[in-house]
Amino acid sequence: MTASQTAEITGLYRYPIKGLTPEPLPRVSLRTGQTLPADRRYAVENGPSGFDPEQPQWKPKIQFLMLARNERLASLDSRFEDATNRLTIRKDGQIVASGDLGTAAGRAAIEDYFSQNFQPELKGPPKILSGRDHSFSDVARKVISIINLDSVRALETMLGGAAVHPLRFRANLYVKGWPAWSELDLVGQTLAIGQARLQVVKRIKRCPATNVDPDTARRDLEIPAALSSNLGHMDCGIYAEVIADGDIGVGDAVALEEPKLV
């Protein structure tokens, strides 16, 4: 990929509760060393994890309810309100749980729903976890995840023409305009989006969560296997760290910043 090949942001999403509904955003402020605001701020603990909210440390995703093993999460429609910390969960259009995650009573209302409806998948009492500005990311660093839609289209060809919903990848940024798979070669490069700067730090190795259709909650494709058999790896998408503040939004250009000469 050359510096002249820019991409365009077509979708911008956060995931306030790990494993639950993506929330689209028109525009957001990025801050150095941080995720999208409220991205993966909460998680539902699946049995005791040892997580300490006063001294939050990264824990592997197996400690939480997650789509890789708990595809029924995709059948829920959740919405989080920043101003009130209220999480509302709907199923089939009906509210099934609601609570202020900033209060013990509100968390208990959500936990009770999972206790009653997610047996026998639970390894212990479910618990809503959060910790200061901790992010329950799949990796032990604060990152922004990026998916190239041209790679998704190439993956559809690998799958014999099966439609692949981009939200299977639960990315923060969806972009178009880069050649398929070219993003995988950007590790170590810097992306410019307006005043914001993001350094690409890692490819994303895909897990069975991508096999779950976000609309039907059915495990109906074999995406990691298709990547492996066609490309020799299971990577799709990239992680980047914010290294300079800035506002970004849908429609913004994503440019590859050329290294400065010294």
Q: 262 pLDDT exceeds 70?
A: no
What the block records as the tokens of 195 is 């005043």
Q: What is the pLDDT of residue 5?
A: 82
Q: What is the pLDDT of residue 132?
A: 82
Q: What is the pLDDT of residue 260?
A: 60
What residues contact residue 3 under an 8 Å CB cut-off, 6+ apart? 255, 256, 257, 258
Q: What is the pLDDT of residue 191?
A: 98
Neighbours of 208 (CB within 10 A): 16
Q: 6 pLDDT exceeds 70?
A: yes
What the block records as the tokens of 245 is 């503040």
State the pLDDT confidence band at 258, using cuts at 50, 70 and 90.
Answer: confident
Q: What is the 3-state secondary structure (H, E, C) of the chain?
A: CCCCCCEEEEEEEECCECCCCCEECCEEEECCCCCCCCCCCEEEEECCCCCCCCCCCCCCHHHECCCCCCHHHHHEEEEEECCCCEEEEEECCEEEEEEECCCHHHHHHHHHHHHHHCCCCCCCCEEEECCCCCCCCCCCCCCEEEEEHHHHHHHHHHCCCCCCCHHHHCCCEEEECCCCCHHHHCCCCEEEECCEEEEEEEEEECCHHHHECCCCCCECCCHHHHHHHHHCCCEEEEEEEEEECEEEECCCEEEEECCCCC
Strands 7-14 and 173-176, bridge-based pairing: antiparallel
Beta-bridge partners for 13: 24
Neighbours of 45 (CB within 10 A): 23
Q: What is the mean pLDDT of the chain?
A: 95
- As a whole number of angstroms, the distance between CA 100 and CA 83 comes to 10
The residue among 41, 57, 55 whose CA lies nearest residue 141 is 57
- As a whole number of angstroms, the distance between CA 205 and CA 83 comes to 34
Percent of the chain residues topping a pLDDT of 90: 95
Q: What is the pLDDT of residue 230?
A: 97
Compute the average pLDDT of residues 186-205.
97
State the pLDDT confidence band at 89, using cuts at 50, 70 and 90.
Answer: very high
Q: Pick left, alpha or beta for residue 230 (phi over 0 → left; psi -120 to 50 → alpha; otherwise beta).
A: alpha
Q: 2 pLDDT exceeds 60?
A: no
pLDDT digits 0-9 by tens, 15-56 = 999 999 999 999 999 999 999 999 999 999 999 999 999 999
pLDDT digits 0-9 by tens, 115-167 = 999 998 999 999 999 998 899 999 999 999 999 999 999 999 999 999 999 99
The residue among 135, 184, 110, 96 whose CA lies nearest residue 14 is 135
Q: What is the pLDDT of residue 65?
A: 97
What the block records as the tokens of 222 is 């074999």
Q: 239 pLDDT exceeds 60?
A: yes
Q: 3 pLDDT exceeds 60?
A: no
Q: 247 pLDDT exceeds 60?
A: yes
